Amino acid sequence: MDSLLNRRQPSGFERFIENPLLFLTRKAYYFGAHRLLSCPTSSSSPIRIVVISDTHNHHGELSPLPPGDILIHAGDLTQSGSPEELRSALQWLEGQPHPHKIFIAGNHDAALNMPETSTLLQPFPSLVYLNESSHTINIQGRTLHIYGSPLTPKHGSWSFQYPRNKAEQANWTNIPRNTDVLVTHGPPAHHADGGSGCAALLEELWKVRPRLHVFGHIHAARGVEDVAWSDAQAAYERICSAKGGWWDFFVILLKSLCRRDVLGTTLVNAASLGGFRDENRRNAIVVDI
């Protein structure tokens, strides 16, 4: 049992032997990503966004959240999804000092999938709840369009899920094209997703290209990634989906030698819990846009 709970991660050599193309592709893509993407500096003051996800009732154990203009929680505030759990999490969220506080549901938040949801939310007027809907914020002379959706591919019998082979039921095409900040509970395919992201969501991201995309759901894949919507990224995603080959790898190598300024998208998997048994508590992530 101890060897199961504390199993060793495969070494780099073992990952290379298992799939040489994928191993080398990831090394080349992430090495070159910083050269492909160098976001131009905005002439206006940056907006500081504090993002967190997957607190699962452990919000009281977290370190104080960093200050910022906007606080976003990307779902799974609760564990079993009871109204009592939800009230506790929302009380904590409303108590934060950020001027704007936005949240969506996750698959564990069953109380937000009940007819009495509006009644549960009434005591928390400072919170903005998004459920396949948008919210506009005017801040520091700028306007931000924020869209949120709780939907994730089906796994078990949780809430807010759609069949993985019927991703059209997630309504990703309803994401407005002017979205600046996208909040979904689940990740897009091949980016901070642990191999479990949604390909249809990624396809829509190529069209919308928000400035920031916040998600969680896959605790072990927590991290921040900048994407430039480039030929190299497309080649990387083809290899990750087993549709590409060595030619795509050489495209990544070639494009990595280039340097160009592109206003891309920052992807953030902000899952708070981590570790094999979710024993770790990880702080919120701060992004300036």
Q: Which residue, among 252, 233, 186, 240, has the nearest Cα to 214 in the 3D structure?
A: 186
Query: Which domain range does residue 206 map to?
Result: 48-112+122-228+265-288
Residue 42 pLDDT: 52
Residue 276 pLDDT: 86
Residue 32 maps to a domain: no
DSSP state of 245: -
**62 has pLDDT over 70:** yes
Alpha-carbon distance 55 to 25, whole Å?
Answer: 33
Residue 9 pLDDT: 61
Give the pLDDT confidence of 164-179 residue by residue, as tens digits.
Answer: 889 999 999 999 999 9
Q: What is the mean pLDDT of residues 221-226?
A: 95
Alpha-carbon distance 75 to 71, whole Å?
Answer: 13
> Is 209 in the same domain as 237?
no
Alpha-carbon distance 249 to 244, whole Å?
Answer: 8
Q: Which residue, among 256, 270, 269, has the nearest Cα to 228 in the 3D structure?
A: 256
> Is 131 in the same domain as 236?
no
Residue 146 maps to a domain: yes
> Is 185 in the same domain as 258?
no
- Total number of domains constituting the chain: 2
Residue 195 maps to a domain: yes
Angle at 92 between CA 86 and CA 95, to 5 degrees: 135
Asked if residue 217 lies in contact with residue 152, where contact means CB atoms within 8 angstroms, the answer is: yes
Residue 237 maps to a domain: yes
Residue 18 maps to a domain: no
Asked if residue 234 lies in contact with residue 203, where contact means CB atoms within 8 angstroms, the answer is: no
Please report, for the domain that includes residue 217, its CATH number.
3.60.21.10
Q: Which amino acid is at 287?
A: V
**254 has pLDDT over 90:** no
Residue 225 pLDDT: 94
**52 has pLDDT over 90:** yes
> Is 100 in the same domain as 137?
yes
Give the count of alpha carbons within 13 A of 211, CB side only: 18
Residue 162 maps to a domain: yes
Residue 22 maps to a domain: no
Residue-wise DSSP of 264-286: -EEEEE-B-EESTTS-EE---EE
> Is 129 in the same domain as 218?
yes
**7 has pLDDT over 60:** no
> Is 281 in the same domain as 148?
yes
Residue 133 pLDDT: 98
> Is 250 in the same domain as 198?
no
Residue-wise DSSP of 180-238: SEEEESSPBTTSSSTT--BHHHHHHHHHH--SEEEE-S-GGG-EEEEE---HHHHHHHH
**More confident of the two residues 75 and 21:** 75
